[in-house]
Structure 1
Amino acid sequence: MSKRPLRIIFMGTPDFAAATLQALIDGPDEVVAVVTQPDRAKGRGKKLTPPPTKVLAEAAGIPVLQPTKIKTEAFHNGLLTYQPDLIVVTAYGRILPKSLLELPPLGCINVHGSLLPKYRGAAPIQWAVINGEKETGITIIQMNEGMDTGDILLKAKINTAPDETAGSLFDKLAVLGSATLLTAIKGLQEGTIIPVAQDHDLATVAPMLKKNDGLIDWHKDAKEIERLIRGLDPWPTAFCFLDGTRLRLFRPEVLHQDSEMQPGTVLQADKRGILVACGHNTLLTREIQPEGKKRMDVDSFLCGHPIAPGTRFVQ
């Protein structure tokens, strides 16, 4: 294929995808259309809110498609009118049918937030934090009909920080993914990249997270709880209950000391944070978000809601 700018259709929805889209817009090729999920009702007012990729595309004057169904002849034919050389997919949220995978001459490639074959699925970044991975990264794959099972085109690694949250790791991988994608596209166009099959025996999964996955079991090791809190920050968040009120917890720290108190028992609550007994060791939480209120430091919360030592958080 000649070195003319490629005609690219981008498919993606959340902020992570918007970073990739911005890199493509700023890059040497032409984004001819953006496909994203329909607007969703958000907030207490249930106001229809456009996906971040739609906002970005419209600002750049790029046509936006928001189909409710993608396995239709009408949608397929609609994409054909843009004459794409390549389709780039980042966190779109749906499995592409074979007809779309085979539509552009260069196929469809995906920007995935893990070092495949580890963490195939919808939430690779969160699960990497929850499981305490010291290293993760980005994988660019040639898509097939499976869930993140396509041949690997390029990988890039990054170390995770000890206090890494899913949110901070999202930001880092969004930057890394954008740069890695542009390198992969250049290699595809020049024919310098050789696809490598994944070792499916090494595959692990990263299933979509639900709000109830954040319910804290204080009988677990404090380190496991600490990773859960960081891995679910900023969504869906880890939480417990006090007097029937849901409390979301943030900025945890493991203190390597055991307590004879029952797991979930508050050992101290002051400006340093809330210290809670766990199955092994103890956990200090520095930030909290009561139900219906903003996230705040523990000291601010305790001014109006003192917690006496011996109080128990419940599941």
Structure 2
Amino acid sequence: MKIVFAGTPEFASTALNALVRAGHQIGLVLTQPDRPSGRGMKLQASAVKKLAVSEGIPVEQPVSLRLDGRHGEEAKKVYERIARIEPDVMVVVAYGLILPKVFLELPKYGCLNIHASLLPRWRGAAPIQRAIEAGDEKTGVSIMQMEEGLDTGPVLLKETVAIEKDDNASRLHDKLADLGSRLILSALNQLAENSARFTVQDEDAAIYAAKIRKEEATVNFTFSATEIVNKIRAFDPFPGCIAKYRNIPIKIWKAENAGSYPGTKAGQIVSVNESGIVVGCVEDSVRILELQKPGGKRLSAAEFIKGFSFENGCFE
């Protein structure tokens, strides 16, 4: 098929790679503009752009696709370029820009989106993190026909993945990226064979997955141990959860439910040893297994306490 691909992060580049390896004709890639990143804050290309360039695929990086907006002239040029390609379909994966209706209607078969959730649950920007944070036991990937609403279009394919107890956002991301790459190839085959059948989403079951904000990263020990552990898993690797001890922000990368310690206050340090730092919560307690102090490395609790003293006290 003749495809225009729109995506930006690693999750999207996995799908683009699968399309290229399967022999589809990628006429154009749309991706976000290069962003400053790293210690030197140098401009960095997205994962999708790096792959496209290595494969010799043309790339466009518009700031916006609104034809009537501030960057309308740039958007019109992109629109005209896509129209000249006459794509069969546009595949969209974590692109980060809104596609106006005129773009959605350009391809012969419209636009297919690879979404990392079991729609209509977890529509929006952070479906992987929100599923873990909520304590969901399963998630998956949906291949959806895009329309003007946010992740509201009918679903062509859907497949479930179990969320394991030791899954963090990074591990679950990789599982879903691989699954999405496989499902989009199946979806394109169905389009080509005229066997595609779409199912309208149940609006009453829709839940929104809001974008992760750094302000959410603070660990609040007045929550239950289960809620705290899920949040730590969900926010690994970004932005990482933080708890303050004597006004020192310490990142907590891994923890587990340590059971009940009657009479313990929320935030109170119960015990410190090589197996972990046990901290009381409003319900049960958590055993912190991996930590990182400012400017330091991510360490196991056993390594961390060799250079950091937790005297009797509490996390804030």
Which TM-score applies when normalising by structure 1? Answer: 0.95
Partner in structure 2 of residue 257 of structure 1: 260
Unaligned runs of 5+ in 1: 1-5
CA distance in 2, matches of 1:271, 1:31: 53
Q: Where does 1:185-196 land on structure 2 (aligned, <5 Å)?
A: 185-196=188-199
**Does 223-232 or 38-47 show the bigger shift?**
38-47
Partner in structure 1 of residue 135 of structure 2: 132
CA distance in 2, matches of 1:256, 1:71: 53
Q: Does 1:40 align with 2:35?
A: yes
Report how far residue 104 of structure 1 moved: 0.7
Residue identity matched to 1:124: P
CA distance in 2, matches of 1:277, 1:56: 47
Report how far residue 289 of structure 1 moved: 1.4
Partner in structure 2 of residue 16 of structure 1: 11
Report how far residue 262 of structure 1 moved: 1.9
CA distance in 1, matches of 2:27, 2:102: 19
Q: Does 1:89 align with 2:106?
A: no
What is the identity percentage for the equivalent residue pairs of Structure 1 and Structure 2? 38
CA distance in 2, matches of 1:25, 1:245: 48
Q: Does 1:168 align with 2:171?
A: yes
Report how far residue 261 of structure 1 moved: 2.6
Q: Where does 1:103-252 land on structure 2 (aligned, <5 Å)?
A: 103-252=106-255
Instruction: Please give the secondary structure, in 2, of the residue aligned with 1:304.
Output: coil
**Does 257-266 or 189-198 show the bigger shift?**
257-266
Unaligned runs of 5+ in 2: 68-75
* CA shift digits 1:7-44 (9 cap, x unpaired): 10110011111111111111131111111001111122
Instruction: Please give the secondary structure, in 1, of the residue aligned with 2:209.
Output: coil
Q: Does 1:64 align with 2:59?
A: yes
Verify the 8 A CA contact 2:225 2:257 in the aligned structure 1: yes
Report how far residue 134 of structure 1 moved: 0.8
- Structure 1 moving runs of 4+ over 6 Å: none
**Does 236-245 or 194-203 show the bigger shift?**
236-245
CA distance in 1, matches of 2:59, 2:37: 20
Q: Does 1:311 align with 2:306?
A: no
CA RMSD of superposed structures (Å) = 1.1
Residue identity matched to 1:299: A
Report how far residue 218 of structure 1 moved: 0.3
CA distance in 1, matches of 2:50, 2:290: 32
Verify the 8 A CA contact 2:118 2:158 in the aligned structure 1: yes
Report how far residue 296 of structure 1 moved: 1.4
Partner in structure 1 of residue 80 of structure 2: 77
* CA shift digits 1:221-243 (9 cap, x unpaired): 10000000001111111111122
Partner in structure 1 of residue 49 of structure 2: 54
Report how far residue 299 of structure 1 moved: 1.9
Instruction: Please give the secondary structure, in 2, of the residue aligned with 1:250.
Output: strand
**Aligned pairs, number:** 308
Residue identity matched to 1:80: A
Verify the 8 A CA contact 2:120 2:201 in the aligned structure 1: yes
Residue identity matched to 1:40: R
Instruction: Please give the secondary structure, in 1, of the residue aligned with 2:124.
Output: coil
CA distance in 2, matches of 1:249, 1:208: 21
Report how far residue 160 of structure 1 moved: 1.1
CA distance in 2, matches of 1:172, 1:121: 19
Residue identity matched to 1:8: I
Report how far residue 305 of structure 1 moved: 1.0
CA distance in 2, matches of 1:14, 1:245: 32
Verify the 8 A CA contact 1:259 1:282 in the aligned structure 2: no
**Does 142-151 or 80-89 show the bigger shift?**
80-89
Q: Does 1:31 align with 2:26?
A: yes
* CA shift digits 1:183-209 (9 cap, x unpaired): 011101111111111111110110101
Residue identity matched to 1:43: G
Which residue of 96, 99, 102 maps to 2:102?
Answer: 99
